[in-house]
Structure 1
């Protein structure tokens, strides 16, 4: 290759990309930056941290203390989704909280048996 083509050779340069996926390749490329979560939680305020603990406690109680039913499976799935949302975004959306309120209302028997269910119910605004 001659020196004239050497100036047109594509090159790829990476800076410090720790914690981010940022790169660009080619003459018309545009770098995009996306924050990468490495298993760490989003910033949890005190109420979100309290809800996360209560959600985890209730999930454990559902596995260990309650016979599985269609109702408990649906509740556990909603709790798992809430846990994921809390750990990735640092909050549970109002829609997510409303879904938990609905499922806990449908599971009134659990509220009287499991203290953890009562805790989650209180934290998502369910009036007992």
Structure 2
């Protein structure tokens, strides 16, 4: 025991048998005897270009606005496409051409609603700009 106390005093951090060890590994904390961290998330969100960021903000506004309209099959499908596009942009940094094409079709299908919402027009314009149409 005296050796263990002496070791600690010298900064060797040897755990005492049956004792508790607390370590910090870049934000993850382990507590216990011989515990390890098996999952660590590092890094930042993917970089987004300004056009994708504009689309993401427009999607969020439109999804909020859709909450105030009477739901229909078209608005439900549009909200699902908006949600998927939002997830894709947040996860990868951009919505791919296939996603943008599906989003444009969902906007067209729900045209009676999206045509009167400024946020719907904004999403349509952002999608058209990204698709080059």
TM-score by structure 2 length? Answer: 0.63
Instruction: Look up the match of 1:107.
Output: 110
> Cα deviation per residue 1:13-37 (whole Å; 9 max; x = unaligned)?
xxxx759xxxxxxxxxxxxxx9947
Secondary structure of residue in 1 paired with 2:45: coil
Do residues 96 (structure 1) and 99 (structure 2) align?
A: yes
Structure 1 gaps of 5+ residues are 1-16, 20-33
Do residues 43 (structure 1) and 47 (structure 2) align?
A: yes
State which of 59, 62, 67 in structure 2 corresponds to 1:55.
59
User: In the comparison of the two structures, how many residue pairs are matched?
Assistant: 96
Taking the aligned partners of 1:81 and 1:37, their CA distance within structure 2 comes to 24
Q: Bigger radius of gyration, 1 or 2?
A: 2
Instruction: Look up the match of 1:11.
Output: none
The answer to whether the Cα contact below 8 Å between 1:41 and 1:86 also exists between their aligned partners in 2 is no
RMSD of aligned alpha carbons? 2.6
Structure 2 gaps of 5+ residues are 1-24, 28-38
Taking the aligned partners of 1:98 and 1:35, their CA distance within structure 2 comes to 35
TM-score by structure 1 length? Answer: 0.66
Shift of 1:121: 0.6
> Cα deviation per residue 1:93-112 (whole Å; 9 max; x = unaligned)?
00000001111111121232
Moved over 2 A (4+): 34-38
Judged with a 3 Å threshold, the aligned counterparts in structure 2 of structure 1 residues 35 and 92 are, in CA distance, closer, same or farther, namely farther
